[in-house]
Amino acid sequence: MHFGSGVPTVEVSALSDGDFLLDVREDEEWEAGHAAGALHIPMSEFVARYGELTEAAPQDGRVNVICRSGGRSAQVTMYLAQQGIDAANVAGGMQAWEDAGRPVITDAGAPGAVV
């Protein structure tokens, strides 16, 4: 599936627990609730912190990029694809994640919320 003009996209239902997830929402969104195990690099800091992604991402796996609804993550997905990284935008973002019944937690491990 694709979002917009040719952005590789993956549905939440196609993701497994072990798949790599990059959350590009801003700090206050992340703090309210996020997917367990996701790497958090806000889109506003992404280029400056790009090295954190290349260190953490699996060398032979896909980077699944998520934001609140899919817009910001689509932009980051396209940037990553231009860098030669296998990346996919998570369709519907954290809203779809939560709607699918996937856990949303805070840093303390308590139930979180998508804002």
67 is catalytic: yes
Task: Tell me which of 43, 67, 78, 88 is the catalytic residue.
Answer: 67
What H or E segment, with its residue span, contains residue 61? none
101-115: burial string, b at 16+ Cβ within 10 Å, e else: eeebeeeeeeebebe
Catalytic residue numbers read 67
